[in-house]
Structure 1
Amino acid sequence: MRQELPRINERIAKSSSDLVRVIDNRGEQLGLLTLKAAIEEAQKVNLDLVLINEKSEVPVCKIVNYSKYKFDQDKKAKDLKKKQQNTSLKEVKMRYKIEEHDYQVKQNQTIRFISSGHKVKVTINFRGREIQHTNLAMVLLNRLANDVKDIAEIQQNPSQEGRNMIMMLVPKKK
């Protein structure tokens, strides 16, 4: 997704009224000027006239150093992109008859996912007559939730959906 470059100087499309609201390089309003007069004001101080907001009733332009303005806009966009949190859903599957070492592996996997900022869906799958032991699966999910309670909180309590029991964990807010 590429950001559209702002229009400057003669590239500013003439509106129906041909008037623009002009802000100088110190942030003070110069008022409504014709496009030609605004460009001349910018050229007097060896700067550019940049279209800031064309959607308002009277387009708003600012007298700035275009390269510095563009650099600042790119820097803001980069900072916003950094601050976006890319959370995705990771799934940890296990059986209710899990051995201790295998449980530790699944617990460490869950901790690694949560520490990376991901949501974790913990699923216990039942086969055949195992569905009778939902209470053991509930105990196992509650144990896992208790083991990771320092870094994660439960978004969805353990619940049965068909032949699966599911619990959702999310990272704790700092």
Structure 2
Amino acid sequence: MSRDKALALAREQGLDLILVAEKANPPVAKIIDFSKFKYQQSKKTKSGTTKTKATNVKEVRFTPFMAENDFNTRLERAREFLADGHKVKLVVKFTGRQITRKEFGISQMDKAVQSLSDIAKLEQDPKWLGKLYVGQIKPTKQIKKDEQDQN
């Protein structure tokens, strides 16, 4: 149908003539209300985006022979990450001859997991990766920062 004929038909119906595919041969046009067309386009673009929250894996490192205060500071940092909804990778790093006393690193990991068990659960059991003892935890429920500040 010619352009003039399509425009006359659109005016007769009280609607708009909208060019859909300009580069097609022949060009494709629709007779539709322009506001409805804009709404459909916005729906189409929104459907392409996902509404999932991106969770990052944050890392907190420990050493097998670490002072109690340093350990607690790292635990608090892990709590903050968990409160924000992130997964936390707990790593016990052995340097030098510390690797000969693996039981100290294993106890540090167990202590950390036990301390965080109220807000997180173990997602990946601890395993050895060279001189690193690595485990991963994820939050059990969302904790709002206001609730955490009260504690």
TM-score range relative to shorter protein: 0.5 to 0.7
Gaps of 5+ in 1: 1-33, 53-59
Letter in 2 for 1:132: T
**Which has the larger displacement, 162-171 or 36-45?**
36-45
CA distance in 2, matches of 1:80, 1:115: 29
1:166 and 2:134 matched: yes
Match of 1:119 among 84, 87, 96: 87
TM-score (norm 1): 0.59
2:107 aligned counterpart, secondary structure: helix
Does the C-alpha gap of structure 1 residues 62 and 117 become closer, same or farther in structure 2, counting only changes over 3 Å? farther
Higher mean Cα deviation, 74-83 or 94-103? 74-83
Aligned pair count? 133
Separation in 2 of the partners of 1:106 and 1:79?
A: 40
Partner of 1:47: 16
Contact 1:38 1:49 (C-alpha < 8 Å) held by counterparts: no
In the other structure, the counterpart of 1:137 is 105
Aligned-CA RMSD value: 3.3
**In terms of mean alpha carbon deviation, does 34-43 or 104-113 score higher?**
34-43
Show structure 2 runs of 5+ residues with no match. 22-27, 143-151
2:33 — aligned with what?
A: 65
Q: What is the CA–CA distance in structure 2 between the aligned matches of 1:61 and 1:151, rounded to whole Å? A: 57
* Code of the aligned partner of 1:150: D
The whole-number CA distance in structure 1 between the counterparts of 2:34 and 2:72 is 57
Paired with 1:173 and 1:61, the residues of 2 have a C-alpha distance of: 51
Secondary structure at the counterpart of residue 128 of structure 2: strand
TM-score under structure 2 normalisation? 0.67
Please report how far the alpha carbon of residue 40 of structure 1 lies from its aligned counterpart in structure 2 after TM superposition.
Answer: 5.5
Contact 2:15 2:32 in 1 (8 A): no
Residues 1:173 and 1:40: Cα distance change in structure 2 (over 3 Å): farther
What amino acid is aligned across from residue 89 of structure 2 in structure 1? K
Residue 41 of structure 1: CA displacement?
5.0
Q: Distance in 1 between matches of 2:34 and 2:117?
A: 51
Q: Using CA pairs below 8 Å that are at least 6 residues apart, which structure has the higher relative contact order?
A: 2
- 1:134-166 deviation line (CA, Å, top 9, x unaligned): 222122212212222233222211111111111
Quote the offset at 1:167 in angstroms. Answer: 0.8
What corresponds to 1:93 in structure 2?
Answer: 61
The residue type equivalent to 2:33 in the other structure is N
Which of 125, 135, 139 is residue 157 of structure 1 equivalent to? Answer: 125
Aligned-pair identity in percent equals 28
Cα–Cα, structure 1 residues 47 and 91, in superposed 2: closer, same or farther, change >3 Å?
Answer: same
